[in-house]
Amino acid sequence: MLKSIALWLEDRLHIAKLFESTGGHKVPPSTNSWFYVFGSGTLLCFVLQILTGTLLAFVYQPSAGQAWSSLQYLNNEQFLGWFLRAVHNWGSIFMVGIMSAHLVQTFLFGAYKYPRELTWVSGCCLFLCTLGMAFTGQILRFDQDAYWGLGIGASIMGRVPFVGAQLVHLMLGGAMIAGETLSRFFSLHVFLVPGLIIALLSLHLRLVLTKGINEYPKPGRVVKKESYAVEYEEMIQKTGVPFVPNVIGKDLIFSACLIIAIVTCALVFGPQGPSGPPNPTLIHTAPAPDFYFLPIYAALALLPAYMETFLLLVLPVVLLAILILLPFYSGTGEKSHRRRPMAVVIVLLAFLTLGLLAYLGTYAPWSPHMEAWSSAATPAAQVQGRSPLELQGAILLQSKQCRNCHALGGEGGLRGPALDTVATRLTGDQLIRQVIQGSGNMPAYGKNLRPAEVTALVAFMETLRPSYQPAARDSSKH
Amino acid sequence: MSETNSDCGCKKATLTKEVPAPSVSRRNLLLKIGAGLNAIAAVLVGVPLLGYALSAFTRTSKNSWISVGPLAKFPEGETRLATYRNPISKPWDGDTAEVPCWVRRIDSQSFQVFAINCTHLGCPVRWFQESRLFMCPCHGGAFYEDGSHASGPPPRGLFEYQHKVESGELKVLGGHLPTLAEPLKKDDM
């Protein structure tokens, strides 16, 4: 009975033939390696995102007025709503992570070289689409961060020459961040970009079948356009093994571990947000992006202002062009990273740069600590034994909000230098000048402080040095 | 075409000898008509679709005068947060239709009204009364009380609304998110 059903299905669907050309296709035995599991891992994440996303859309309201409360409902009232939100969030984090690993692995193994140019190009486009999903998804979590994230996106668009204003309108669906904005980001996140991903993914997988998977590179085995295709075909004929069942084992183990990791993170850390409601009049907020965009957030604070627009609009295009066009200017030659030191250096540099920027982004030393002036205590050692005038200065340093940018005893903003030892660096005259006129990143306070206030403030700061270090002195006066 | 060359090897080789020429050209004709009709159909569907999807691209901001509150709300010499409702709001906008701005009353008759958005990347600047500075929480921009640039990455001073006093109310010309490409005043580039 079962056999006859199977035979009937086989007769109608030609399953054996389909299997032979897909799952059962022959791959080089060298690809049976733990380095080759990231592609299928990314695909699995994508499937998980579709599943959880579709289910979240059962409840989520893509309306600016109600999105935030529907997220609260998902978190607190819908059965397992919090869990699905958490899995969707962690799924996206893992997807970006595993996909980056896939990108780095294919780069280091020279998989982009002849004849797999299109595989690489479609993969890069998939990577961009995935980052697009991360950004639009962050907007759908329609909270304060999402609102001001849109403001940042619009401000970047507004820097485009000639059509800036029009691009802002196109992005926001109007002149303001409002109902239409969320609706179009919903459509992008749920229909347009996933559709594009499925199309690109089909192309990507089709190419894996037609052009074969990259063999594990051996140092010294050089890709030549004249001979590579024939050699690869010969190798497959001689030693090729079917992907299923010979090679898929490691993918399966990795996939299962991946799912377990995502579910564990979801259970332990729970869903992310939403933070405060998307009400722009609640301005006591410090918007910060999700972790994927922390490097950009940091770069935007640290870039020199005069070249910022250029770097914002031109540099990403140039970098992406270099990445996507890689197989067209480096399509042959050595594949193994052991013979491509520059490739290794580039990967290390990219990781260092992104990692360092992301680390800085987590504590944003460039941002004033908005509450430091009213919440941070003055260290006892810095007020003990001070004269009334100096104490007056200590109070002024607090009340004039100096500590939003300057730390004392490790508390306060990091925007300007900490003041604990300022008297060893600047003389009284220099302090007065700096306070009144400002310089560098420090605003001028001349208009906001009365002369007596400046005197008191500087008198206090002149005491800020350790006993074992002399005060700064004006060398012209001796 | 002889019988030996015919790939179907069928018995009506004599028929196929006459049929091919006209059938191929008719097929080509139908193909051409079909492709042409589809091109027209694609334009008929595509142009309105693109027009709909990109309509926001050509839409211009329609600003209108809107009250941010009675003058009594703004003491002289102080800077206060005021809000107004987006004049082009839709019923489903929710809280996003409320727009904040900073109103500085210099003396009884002169005002300055600043957009909340930092000119660097649009984050909400906060007023600090004691240091008389606007500070931005995102990338550390700071502005003096008159809106001019004090420190940090912003490329210019705060965006300033056009304003007027009418029947005891302070009104601003609002209705779009200010950006470097489209500040709040026409001559304010």
A258-283 tens-digit pLDDT: 999 999 999 999 999 899 999 999 98
Query: Within a domain: residue A11?
Result: no
Q: What's the gap in Å between the CA of A151 and the closest CA on chain B?
A: 5
> Do A154 and A280 sit in the same domain of this protein?
yes
Beta strands B142-144 and B163-166, pairing class: unpaired
A241 φ, ψ (degrees, to nearest 5): -125, 150
Cα–Cα dist B156/B5, whole Å:
81
Together in a domain, A252 and A385: no
The predicted pLDDT at position B99 comes to 93
- Model pLDDT for residues B97-133, shown as the tens digit of each residue: 999 999 999 998 899 999 999 999 999 999 998 889 9
CB A455 within 8 A of CB A382: no
Asked if A359 and A319 sit in the same domain, the reply is yes
Q: Quote the domain boundaries for residue A117.
A: 21-363
Residue A459 lies in a domain: yes
User: How many domains, in total, are found in chain A?
Assistant: 2
Spatial distance between the Cα atoms of A103 and A124, rounded to a whole number of angstroms = 8
Say yes or no: A198 and A216 in one domain. yes
Contact: B150, A147; criterion CB under 8 Å: no
Q: What pLDDT was estimated at residue B4?
A: 45
Are the C-beta atoms of B115 and A429 separated by less than 8 Å? no
Same domain, A334 and A389: no
Q: Are residues A174 and A248 in the same domain?
A: yes
Interface-testing mutation among A143, A148, A150, A371, with chain B (most B C-beta atoms within 10 A): A148
β-sheet with B98-105: strand ranges across: B79-85, B98-105, B111-115
The dihedral through the CA atoms of A81, A84, A90, A92 has a sign that is: negative
Kindly state whether residues A359 and A377 are assigned to the same domain.
Answer: no
* Cβ proximity of A14 and A228 under 8 Å: no
Peptide bond into A245 cis (omega under 30): yes
CA B15 to chain centre: 66
CA B77 to chain CA centroid, Å, is 35
> In terms of Cα–Cα distance, which of A15, A2, A64, A83 is closest to A267?
A83
Pair A101, A134 in one domain: yes
Chosen for mutation from A61, A169, A414, A448 (greatest number of chain B CBs closer than 10 Å) is A169
User: Which domain-ending residue is among A363, A389, A418?
Assistant: A363
The CA-based dihedral angle spanning residues A226, A227, A230, A231, taken in that order and rounded to the nearest 10 degrees: -160
Domain match, A379 and A284 both:
no
Q: What's the CATH code, domain B64-174?
A: 2.102.10.10
Say what the pTM is.
0.90
B contact residues 60-119, partner A, Cβ 8 Å cutoff: 61-62, 81, 83, 86, 88-100, 116-117
ipTM confidence? 0.87
User: Is residue A37 domain-shared with residue A167, that is, in the same domain?
Assistant: yes
Q: Which residue has the tokens 């701005």?
A: B101
> Mean pLDDT of successive 10-residue segments in chain B (189 residues)?
45 50 74 96 96 85 89 92 91 92 92 94 92 90 92 91 92 91 77
| Rounded (to 5) percent helix, strand, coil in chain A | 65, 5, 30
For residues A337 and A440, membership in a common domain is answered with: no
Q: A419-443: per-residue pLDDT in tens?
A: 999 989 999 889 999 999 988 889 8
Task: For residue A367, give the nearest of B94, B132, B140 by CB distance.
Answer: B140
Closest CA to A21 of A244, A302, A258: A244
